[in-house]
Chains A and B, each alone.
Chain A
Amino acid sequence: MSTTPATAAARRAKGAPGRLRNSIGLTWGLAIALAAVLLPFYWLVIAATHTSNEIFDSPPPLTPGGNLFHNLSTLQTTAQFGRVVLNSLLIAVVYTLCAGAVCTLAGYAFAKYRFKGRDAIFGLLMLGLVVPNQVTLVPLFKMMADLEWLNTYQAVILPNLALPFGIFLMRQSMGTIPDELLDSGRIDGCGEFRLFLRVVLPPMRPALAALGIFLFLFQWNDFVWPLVVLRDSASLTIPVALASLKGVVDTDYGAIMTGTAVAAIPMAIVFLALQRHFVSGLLAGAVKE
């Protein structure tokens, strides 16, 4: 935050008659680009309310149709979609809470304690950012099969709890807590864990919100790993169910588009509601040097 008074750049903004035209040009140009970017969302909502035949009509439908509820009931009968949505919600919520705790605790320790091996341990964890997930895909699958955990929630949730990106994000945010605050808590007789719960966490709420949204989105949208460990149709998450529906011959695209809308639209709304925290929280991790 610079406190410089009006700079030349700011002064320039008010001057010059061509300015206004440029401004309108830029804004409209970007608005057209944005319309193109948002078109898939509009089309998704439209398609979700039509039958498969209507979707592939020529010309394609551009206004809502009347088939939404029929699509939902098709989803329910062919894919147990209610159960699938419930699976997704449950897995994402439990994952967010647990991974949030693991990443926050570790991030706090890395940011605010000096201990032997700190940098080595942190470096090791960050290895996870570079090693592609595909490397562990097969052994993890075998591990889950040996544990007889295929088709279970824990098989989806456990392997990604110590998410390197989450730990990194939390270390960055926790660095902003002043040491004086921790010391004064200690002088007041706070144990280390209580200090974390009572002194550290409350002011970190925005960063925690960012982490929470990120973890929830990550799990809600995750595809490959759930695809590998979830095979039983009653245990699937939404992305896996959608992908499996698409493979079926005689695909009902109306139903698939409705399912896709259920996967995408609530997340978009949640994101729009909480974006202020999310973007600033992510950036705290991304851009600091």
Chain B
Amino acid sequence: MSTATTQRPTGQQAAPRSGPPRLTGRRLAPYAFVLPAVALFAAFKLYPIGWSLVLSLYKSVDGTDTFVGGDNYTRLLHDPLFWTALKNTAVILVIQVPIMLALATALAVAFNSRLLRARSLFRLGFFLPMVTGLVAYGVIFSVLLNEKYGLVNWLLHFAGIGPVPWLTDPLWAKISLALALTWHYTGYNAVILLARLQSIPAELYDAAAVDGAGPWKAFRHVTLPGLRPALLLTTVLSTIGTLQIFDEPFILTHGGPDNATLTIGVYLYQNAFTYFDFGYASAIAYALAILIGILGLIQFKVLGDKS
């Protein structure tokens, strides 16, 4: 990949040449630079994407594949478990993501406030969960939230709150999952929003103050509009991430109890690597991809009309 360097064994102080200097090298170099990325991407992303589409048209039984056309997709539409998984994923998306982004916005505003002491310390502390791997925090949370012996219920007991069945009750399991996700990603989103906040010119706040706007009005009419691009970015990223969510339910609740935390990702994994029905798993993957595509498109449309 050294089209550029073979051009000339450079003498250290080669005099500038007249004429177009090494135009070919300059023209070919970018292709050489992107070649590794493109080749790897084609081999390990594009090719499997195509293969997956083919697989989704086959049924795999005991290692032999039979062509079944759209059967996997028809089965999908009539599979109650798939709909349960879809519903669970949607519930997390619709409830957890807005709560998390609202919290992240509040945090970002607090980080940006002149009233806050030790700002960088707080910023770091709230970001730290993001560094923790999904398996690690899944393990920690499953112990912390243990119904009988967990630290959280022990602490709640002092507040007179009875043992909460965090991981064993269908509703509470969903709440636990949402809590874990919020713990992990809020600080990260807050930091992205903070960077945007810092680029809002102070003059706008001054003007708002002159017009007699209180803190709440200033937030509504200056902060929120200014944050809009960053809010949309975090919304899109959180949506894509939430739709694919796998690790947290896999570690924390195994999709249970009673499939209350079964997500599309977990269901796909079960079909692929527990039942080895690669065809059906691929159909689920494509349904998921289409879903992400549609939601992403809608959000990018909204993003697109930013000035």
Contacts and interface: CB of A to CB of B under 8 A. Distances in A.
Interface of A: 2, 4, 7-10, 12-13, 19, 22-23, 26-27, 30-31, 34, 37-41, 43-44, 47, 55-60, 101-103, 105-106, 108-110, 113, 115, 118, 121, 124-125, 127-143, 158-162, 167, 186-196, 217, 220-224, 228, 238-240, 242-243, 246, 253, 256-257, 260, 263-264, 267-268, 271-272, 275, 279, 282-283, 286-287, 289
Given A106-B37, A191-B25, A239 B132 contact: no
A40 B244 contact: no
B78 interface: no
Q: Which of B124, B136, B251 is the most central at the interface, judged by chain A CB atoms within 10 Å of its CB? A: B136
Contacts of A224: 246-247, 269
A66 to B, nearest CB: 19
A193 to B, nearest CB: 4
B117 interface: yes
B2 to A, nearest CB: 6
Q: Which of B32, B132, B134, B268 is the most central at the interface, judged by chain A CB atoms within 10 Å of its CB? A: B132
Interface of B: 2, 4-5, 7-8, 10-11, 13-17, 21-22, 25-27, 29-34, 36-38, 40-41, 44-49, 51-52, 55, 110, 113-118, 122-129, 131-137, 139-144, 146, 148-151, 154, 183, 187, 191-192, 195-196, 199, 201-203, 205-206, 209-210, 229-230, 233, 240, 243-244, 246-247, 250-251, 264-265, 268-269, 272-273, 278, 281-282, 284-286, 288-289, 292-293, 296, 306
Secondary structure call for the B interface: helix
Contacts of A222: 133
B135 A263 contact: yes
A243 B131 contact: no
Counting from the closest, the 10 A-B pairs by CB-CB distance are: A221-B133, A192-B4, A192-B29, A113-B30, A189-B14, A109-B33, A56-B149, A139-B48, A106-B37, A136-B48
B154 A239 contact: no
A134 B128 contact: no
Nearest to B1: A193
A271 to B, nearest CB: 5
Given A128-B45, A246-B251, A7 B37 contact: no
Given A109-B33, A132-B289, A139-B47, 11 more contacts: A9-B206, A9-B209, A23-B117, A105-B34, A132-B240, A134-B246, A134-B269, A138-B272, A220-B133, A260-B136, A287-B196
A151 to B, nearest CB: 15
A268 to B, nearest CB: 6
Contacts of B44: 136, 140, 158-162
Contacts of B29: 109, 113, 192-193
B272 A137 contact: yes
B149 A263 contact: no
B1 to A, nearest CB: 8
Contact of B195 (A2, A55, A58, A283): A283
A47 B129 CA distance: 18
7 contacts: A30-B122, A31-B122, A40-B137, A109-B31, A162-B45, A192-B5, A246-B251
Contacts of A263: 133, 135-136
Given A263-B135, A286-B195, A130 B292 contact: yes
Nearest to A243: B135
Contacts of B31: 109, 115
B209 A192 contact: no
B140 A221 contact: no
B285 A132 contact: yes
Contacts of B229: 287, 289
A134 B293 contact: no
B154 A9 contact: no
Contacts of A57: 149
A192 B1 CA distance: 12
B143 A257 contact: yes
B124 A275 contact: yes
Q: Which of B34, B110, B199 is the most central at the interface, judged by chain A CB atoms within 10 Å of its CB? A: B34
Contacts of A127: 45
A239 B36 contact: no
